[in-house]
Amino acid sequence: MSILVTPEELAGLGEVTILDVRWRLGGGPSDHKSYVEGHIPGAVFCALDADLAAAPGAGGRHPLPEAADFQAAMRRLGVDGSRPVVVYDEADSSAAARAWWTLRYFGHPDVRVLDGGIRAWRHAGLPVEEGEGDATGRGGDFTAVPGGMPTLDADQAADLAANGVLLDARAAERYRGEVEPIDPVAGHVPGAVSAPTAENVEPGGRFHNREFLRERFNTLGAVDGVPVGAYCGSGVTAAHEVLALELAGIHAALYVGSWSHWVTDSSRPVATG
Protein backbone atom coordinates (compact mmCIF):
# COMPACT_ATOMS: atom_id res chain seq x y z
CA MET A 1 0.00 0.00 0.00
CA SER A 2 1.42 3.37 -1.01
CA ILE A 3 1.56 6.13 1.58
CA LEU A 4 0.66 8.66 -1.09
CA VAL A 5 -2.62 8.95 -2.95
CA THR A 6 -3.33 11.02 -6.06
CA PRO A 7 -6.40 13.25 -6.37
CA GLU A 8 -7.91 10.83 -8.88
CA GLU A 9 -7.31 7.87 -6.57
CA LEU A 10 -8.87 9.70 -3.63
CA ALA A 11 -11.91 10.61 -5.71
CA GLY A 12 -12.39 6.91 -6.43
CA LEU A 13 -12.02 5.64 -2.88
CA GLY A 14 -15.09 4.37 -1.06
CA GLU A 15 -15.43 4.61 2.72
CA VAL A 16 -12.62 6.89 3.85
CA THR A 17 -12.16 9.61 6.46
CA ILE A 18 -10.58 12.78 5.05
CA LEU A 19 -8.82 15.24 7.33
CA ASP A 20 -7.98 18.78 6.20
CA VAL A 21 -4.80 19.70 8.08
CA ARG A 22 -4.02 23.08 6.55
CA TRP A 23 -1.74 24.93 8.95
CA ARG A 24 0.90 27.58 8.96
CA LEU A 25 3.64 28.37 11.43
CA GLY A 26 2.10 30.53 14.13
CA GLY A 27 -1.35 29.00 13.68
CA GLY A 28 -4.35 31.28 13.98
CA PRO A 29 -7.83 31.22 12.47
CA SER A 30 -6.63 31.70 8.89
CA ASP A 31 -6.14 27.97 8.41
CA HIS A 32 -9.70 27.18 9.38
CA LYS A 33 -10.84 30.10 7.26
CA SER A 34 -9.26 28.44 4.23
CA TYR A 35 -11.15 25.24 5.05
CA VAL A 36 -14.46 27.11 5.24
CA GLU A 37 -13.76 28.84 1.94
CA GLY A 38 -13.26 25.51 0.17
CA HIS A 39 -12.34 21.94 1.10
CA ILE A 40 -12.53 18.47 -0.36
CA PRO A 41 -16.13 17.23 -0.08
CA GLY A 42 -16.63 15.32 3.17
CA ALA A 43 -13.32 16.46 4.70
CA VAL A 44 -13.24 17.48 8.36
CA PHE A 45 -10.92 20.21 9.64
CA CYS A 46 -8.13 18.92 11.89
CA ALA A 47 -6.38 21.64 13.90
CA LEU A 48 -2.70 20.75 14.14
CA ASP A 49 -2.01 22.75 17.30
CA ALA A 50 -5.06 21.42 19.17
CA ASP A 51 -5.61 17.93 17.72
CA LEU A 52 -2.11 16.71 16.86
CA ALA A 53 -0.08 18.17 19.73
CA ALA A 54 -0.21 18.89 23.43
CA ALA A 55 0.17 22.42 24.77
CA PRO A 56 3.61 24.02 24.36
CA GLY A 57 5.87 23.67 27.36
CA ALA A 58 8.89 21.78 28.61
CA GLY A 59 8.39 19.19 25.87
CA GLY A 60 8.71 21.79 23.11
CA ARG A 61 6.29 23.74 20.95
CA HIS A 62 4.39 20.72 19.59
CA PRO A 63 4.87 17.82 22.01
CA LEU A 64 2.96 14.59 21.53
CA PRO A 65 -0.56 14.64 22.93
CA GLU A 66 -1.52 12.12 25.56
CA ALA A 67 -3.09 9.00 24.07
CA ALA A 68 -6.47 9.71 25.66
CA ASP A 69 -6.51 13.28 24.31
CA PHE A 70 -5.53 12.20 20.82
CA GLN A 71 -8.08 9.40 20.83
CA ALA A 72 -10.82 11.82 21.85
CA ALA A 73 -9.82 14.28 19.12
CA MET A 74 -9.75 11.63 16.41
CA ARG A 75 -13.09 10.16 17.48
CA ARG A 76 -14.58 13.65 17.40
CA LEU A 77 -13.32 13.98 13.83
CA GLY A 78 -14.91 10.68 12.84
CA VAL A 79 -11.78 8.51 12.66
CA ASP A 80 -12.43 4.77 12.86
CA GLY A 81 -9.73 2.22 13.50
CA SER A 82 -10.84 0.07 10.56
CA ARG A 83 -11.51 2.80 7.99
CA PRO A 84 -8.71 4.34 5.89
CA VAL A 85 -7.75 7.95 6.62
CA VAL A 86 -6.48 10.41 4.02
CA VAL A 87 -4.84 13.62 5.20
CA TYR A 88 -4.00 16.72 3.20
CA ASP A 89 -2.86 20.30 3.53
CA GLU A 90 -2.44 23.14 1.05
CA ALA A 91 0.24 21.58 -1.16
CA ASP A 92 3.56 20.29 0.20
CA SER A 93 2.30 17.88 2.90
CA SER A 94 4.41 19.51 5.64
CA ALA A 95 1.41 19.66 7.99
CA ALA A 96 -0.35 16.58 6.61
CA ALA A 97 2.76 14.56 7.38
CA ARG A 98 2.40 15.39 11.08
CA ALA A 99 -1.14 13.96 10.96
CA TRP A 100 0.11 10.88 9.09
CA TRP A 101 2.91 10.31 11.57
CA THR A 102 0.80 10.91 14.70
CA LEU A 103 -1.98 8.59 13.55
CA ARG A 104 0.61 5.92 12.72
CA TYR A 105 2.36 6.45 16.06
CA PHE A 106 -0.92 5.88 17.88
CA GLY A 107 -1.62 2.72 15.92
CA HIS A 108 -3.85 3.54 12.96
CA PRO A 109 -3.06 0.91 10.28
CA ASP A 110 -4.07 2.78 7.12
CA VAL A 111 -3.17 6.45 6.76
CA ARG A 112 -2.37 8.06 3.40
CA VAL A 113 -1.33 11.52 2.28
CA LEU A 114 -2.87 13.36 -0.66
CA ASP A 115 0.22 14.14 -2.74
CA GLY A 116 0.16 17.82 -3.69
CA GLY A 117 -2.65 18.62 -1.25
CA ILE A 118 -5.78 20.52 -2.14
CA ARG A 119 -3.85 22.47 -4.75
CA ALA A 120 -3.38 19.25 -6.74
CA TRP A 121 -7.04 18.35 -6.15
CA ARG A 122 -8.18 21.65 -7.62
CA HIS A 123 -5.69 21.39 -10.49
CA ALA A 124 -7.25 18.04 -11.38
CA GLY A 125 -10.59 19.82 -11.78
CA LEU A 126 -12.21 18.05 -8.85
CA PRO A 127 -14.94 19.77 -6.79
CA VAL A 128 -14.64 21.54 -3.47
CA GLU A 129 -17.34 22.45 -1.00
CA GLU A 130 -17.68 25.50 1.22
CA GLY A 131 -18.81 25.83 4.81
CA GLU A 132 -17.99 24.35 8.16
CA GLY A 133 -18.50 20.71 7.21
CA ASP A 134 -20.23 18.40 9.63
CA ALA A 135 -18.74 15.67 11.79
CA THR A 136 -21.83 15.59 14.03
CA GLY A 137 -23.11 12.09 14.57
CA ARG A 138 -20.19 10.41 12.90
CA GLY A 139 -18.03 9.96 15.97
CA GLY A 140 -15.30 7.42 15.32
CA ASP A 141 -14.17 4.39 17.28
CA PHE A 142 -10.39 4.82 16.94
CA THR A 143 -8.39 3.53 19.90
CA ALA A 144 -5.02 5.23 20.42
CA VAL A 145 -2.17 2.88 21.36
CA PRO A 146 1.21 4.63 21.42
CA GLY A 147 4.43 3.20 20.03
CA GLY A 148 3.60 2.55 16.39
CA MET A 149 6.46 4.74 15.11
CA PRO A 150 9.99 5.12 16.56
CA THR A 151 10.83 8.25 18.52
CA LEU A 152 13.91 9.88 19.99
CA ASP A 153 14.46 11.81 23.17
CA ALA A 154 17.23 14.40 23.47
CA ASP A 155 19.91 11.93 24.62
CA GLN A 156 19.03 9.50 21.84
CA ALA A 157 19.12 12.32 19.29
CA ALA A 158 22.60 13.33 20.49
CA ASP A 159 23.79 9.73 20.29
CA LEU A 160 22.36 9.34 16.80
CA ALA A 161 24.08 12.52 15.63
CA ALA A 162 27.36 11.03 16.81
CA ASN A 163 26.91 7.41 15.77
CA GLY A 164 24.30 7.42 13.01
CA VAL A 165 22.57 10.08 10.94
CA LEU A 166 20.43 12.82 12.48
CA LEU A 167 18.81 14.97 9.81
CA ASP A 168 17.86 18.59 10.52
CA ALA A 169 14.75 19.33 8.45
CA ARG A 170 14.74 23.12 8.93
CA ALA A 171 15.85 25.69 6.38
CA ALA A 172 19.62 25.77 5.99
CA GLU A 173 20.02 29.25 7.46
CA ARG A 174 18.32 28.13 10.68
CA TYR A 175 20.56 25.05 10.82
CA ARG A 176 23.63 27.25 10.44
CA GLY A 177 22.37 29.56 13.19
CA GLU A 178 22.30 32.63 10.96
CA VAL A 179 18.65 33.30 11.82
CA GLU A 180 16.21 31.94 14.38
CA PRO A 181 12.74 33.48 14.08
CA ILE A 182 10.99 31.32 16.67
CA ASP A 183 13.17 29.62 19.27
CA PRO A 184 15.35 31.49 21.79
CA VAL A 185 18.65 29.92 20.68
CA ALA A 186 20.01 29.60 17.14
CA GLY A 187 22.02 26.68 15.79
CA HIS A 188 21.74 22.90 15.55
CA VAL A 189 22.40 19.67 17.39
CA PRO A 190 26.14 18.98 17.09
CA GLY A 191 26.78 16.37 14.43
CA ALA A 192 23.38 16.75 12.77
CA VAL A 193 23.22 17.00 8.97
CA SER A 194 21.26 19.75 7.20
CA ALA A 195 18.43 18.30 5.08
CA PRO A 196 15.71 20.92 4.43
CA THR A 197 12.30 19.43 3.73
CA ALA A 198 11.78 21.86 0.85
CA GLU A 199 14.11 19.60 -1.15
CA ASN A 200 11.79 16.60 -0.69
CA VAL A 201 9.17 18.02 -3.04
CA GLU A 202 8.90 19.29 -6.58
CA PRO A 203 7.73 22.82 -7.43
CA GLY A 204 4.00 22.71 -6.74
CA GLY A 205 4.33 20.48 -3.70
CA ARG A 206 4.32 16.86 -4.89
CA PHE A 207 6.99 14.55 -3.53
CA HIS A 208 9.94 13.65 -5.68
CA ASN A 209 9.98 10.05 -6.84
CA ARG A 210 11.45 7.23 -4.78
CA GLU A 211 14.73 7.10 -6.72
CA PHE A 212 15.35 10.83 -6.31
CA LEU A 213 14.61 10.71 -2.58
CA ARG A 214 16.73 7.63 -1.97
CA GLU A 215 19.71 9.17 -3.76
CA ARG A 216 19.24 12.38 -1.81
CA PHE A 217 19.22 10.68 1.57
CA ASN A 218 21.99 8.23 0.65
CA THR A 219 24.16 11.25 -0.22
CA LEU A 220 23.45 12.64 3.26
CA GLY A 221 24.63 9.40 4.86
CA ALA A 222 21.30 7.63 5.31
CA VAL A 223 22.32 4.28 3.85
CA ASP A 224 21.44 0.69 4.67
CA GLY A 225 22.59 -0.39 8.11
CA VAL A 226 22.92 3.13 9.53
CA PRO A 227 20.31 4.29 12.08
CA VAL A 228 18.53 7.46 10.99
CA GLY A 229 16.50 10.10 12.79
CA ALA A 230 15.07 13.54 12.05
CA TYR A 231 14.25 16.73 13.91
CA CYS A 232 13.16 20.27 13.04
CA GLY A 233 11.93 23.21 15.08
CA SER A 234 9.06 21.48 16.86
CA GLY A 235 8.44 18.06 15.30
CA VAL A 236 6.18 19.14 12.42
CA THR A 237 8.36 19.38 9.33
CA ALA A 238 10.56 16.59 10.71
CA ALA A 239 7.53 14.31 10.29
CA HIS A 240 7.65 15.33 6.61
CA GLU A 241 11.28 14.20 6.57
CA VAL A 242 10.34 10.85 8.11
CA LEU A 243 7.62 10.47 5.48
CA ALA A 244 10.02 11.28 2.64
CA LEU A 245 12.53 8.80 4.08
CA GLU A 246 9.78 6.17 4.25
CA LEU A 247 8.97 6.81 0.58
CA ALA A 248 12.65 6.21 -0.14
CA GLY A 249 12.56 2.90 1.73
CA ILE A 250 14.47 4.21 4.75
CA HIS A 251 12.95 3.91 8.22
CA ALA A 252 13.68 6.78 10.59
CA ALA A 253 12.87 7.90 14.13
CA LEU A 254 11.38 11.29 14.99
CA TYR A 255 12.69 13.58 17.71
CA VAL A 256 9.26 15.00 18.49
CA GLY A 257 10.44 17.78 20.81
CA SER A 258 13.08 18.78 18.26
CA TRP A 259 15.02 22.04 18.58
CA SER A 260 12.33 23.71 20.69
CA HIS A 261 12.90 20.99 23.30
CA TRP A 262 16.67 20.74 22.87
CA VAL A 263 17.18 24.39 23.86
CA THR A 264 15.12 24.12 27.05
CA ASP A 265 18.24 22.72 28.75
CA SER A 266 21.16 25.16 28.61
CA SER A 267 23.62 22.32 29.30
CA ARG A 268 22.95 20.78 25.90
CA PRO A 269 25.58 21.82 23.35
CA VAL A 270 24.73 23.98 20.35
CA ALA A 271 26.61 24.07 17.06
CA THR A 272 26.56 26.79 14.40
CA GLY A 273 27.92 27.11 10.91
Q: Look up 46 and say whether it is catalytic.
A: no
Sign of CA dihedral 240, 101, 93, 61: negative
- Cβ 46 vs Cβ 87: under 8 Å: yes
Nearest residue to 107 (alpha-carbon basis) of 63, 143, 150: 143
- In a 13 Å sphere around the CA of 145, the CA atoms on its Cβ side amount to 7
CB contact burial 235-262 (16+ within 10 A = b; e otherwise): bbbbbbbbbbbbbbebebbbbbbbbbbb
Q: Which of 91, 97, 152, 232 is catalytic?
A: 232
How far is residue 20's CA from residue 80's CA, in Å, rounded to a whole number? 16
Active site positions, annotated? 232
